[in-house]
Amino acid sequence: MKLFLMALLSTSLLASAAFAGSISLDTRFDFQNVDFNDAGVTGANADNSRLYFRVGRLDYQGKLSEDVTFRLRYAFTSFGANNVRDNAADAVQFAAITQKLFNGLSLTLGKFNPEMGGYEGITSGSDMYLQSEYFTHKFGNNSLGSSTYGVGDKHLYMTGLRLDYAFMDQTLTGMILDPIPDQAVGATGNASNQKMWGFLYKGSFMDKTLGVMASYHLTPGAGNAFSGDDKTSFSTVGLKWTSSPVLVSLDYNMESADFTPVAGTSRTDKMTTIIAKVAYTGFEQWTPRLEYHTTKEDFSTNSNTFTGMGAVAEYKPIKENNFRYHVAYNSITATGSSYAQDQTRTEILVGTRMLADFLK
């Protein structure tokens, strides 16, 4: 009888776990040391070091039926009140329901990643080391001078709806999103009827060895201005080569803000970025990576260039587990009319990352 009850309890727990889907804990803990050269760097960009959580989040994914899935991801490393536009806190990264319709067509409603910024833009924060200025819109802790929005800091998670059509290893996506930043439009922002439009293509070729990604997003406003014909566009073309043991990705991103400042003349701010990453997975427990990016920022009468290079070594004690140690070295140099002298930011990261499913 006891064996029967134990078997029944085990079966019930397994059935509940299967119904629940997956509940995972994703954490990355780093020691970070940052140094700037002495080219007039003060204030927010002073040398610093810290021990901190780079990533900390809970991710719940499950099914309501064969055709309806959902996802909720909460980051306990994010802070802030609810946004004006979507009434969701920044800590809520994913909160979406997906309904399969027919013949490869699906509808997603809620908060999700609009997949801007190419392969860099869809890389998990747990696996990012060197980040481009297109992604952060910053050099160190200081925001860049142009009125372009930036991607990762304000466009990584957005609320809206998207239609995905999948066929023969290809996916076409159209989406309607609330413009970001949410609070930039002020107290009356929730009365705005302006929307961001996005279009995305992803495909794989040569037995899924070659991946292709292209996207275009257009939003009203530029910087903090939502008026008249102001608009900002984001364009991306990305390639990814996955042929073990070599992984290579290449992104070309362009961002353009067309606007008229208050009591000013119309202008266009632009930012273009090229990102290249290479990884070698042929070793049993070690994965070395090399990363490079160059960003050109043009705004008003100023022009700046940022060049970044990084080297990474990842070590997995057990290759099959989602647990690793890593060490990374990054260097980014800023030069141009906004800098009296070239400024260089160097960074050392030493840390660990773990991804664990509570139901396994």
- Cα separation, 106 vs 197, in Å, equals 18
Collect the ranges in the chain with pLDDT lower than 70.
Answer: 1-20, 39-44, 80-81, 150-153, 180-193, 222-228, 262-264
| Whole-number pLDDT of residue 44 | 64
Q: What is the CA radius of gyration of the chain?
A: 22
Q: What is the pTM of this model?
A: 0.88
| Whole-number pLDDT of residue 1 | 43
- Cα separation, 328 vs 125, in Å, equals 14
End-to-end Cα, the chain, rounded Å: 27
Summarised one tens digit per residue, pLDDT across range 125-137 is: 999 999 999 999 8
Nearest Cα residue to 276 out of 294, 250, 239, 237: 250
- Cα separation, 305 vs 307, in Å, equals 7
| Whole-number pLDDT of residue 75 | 94
Q: Can you tell me which residue has the tokens 């995305």?
A: 200
User: 210 and 204 in contact (C-beta within 8 Å)?
Assistant: yes
User: 262 and 242 in contact (C-beta within 8 Å)?
Assistant: no
Residue 345's beta-bridge partner residues? 36, 332
**Single-letter code of the amino acid located at 75:** A
- Cα separation, 30 vs 48, in Å, equals 14
- Cα separation, 81 vs 334, in Å, equals 33
| Whole-number pLDDT of residue 5 | 38
* Pairing of the two strands 302-315 and 286-299: antiparallel
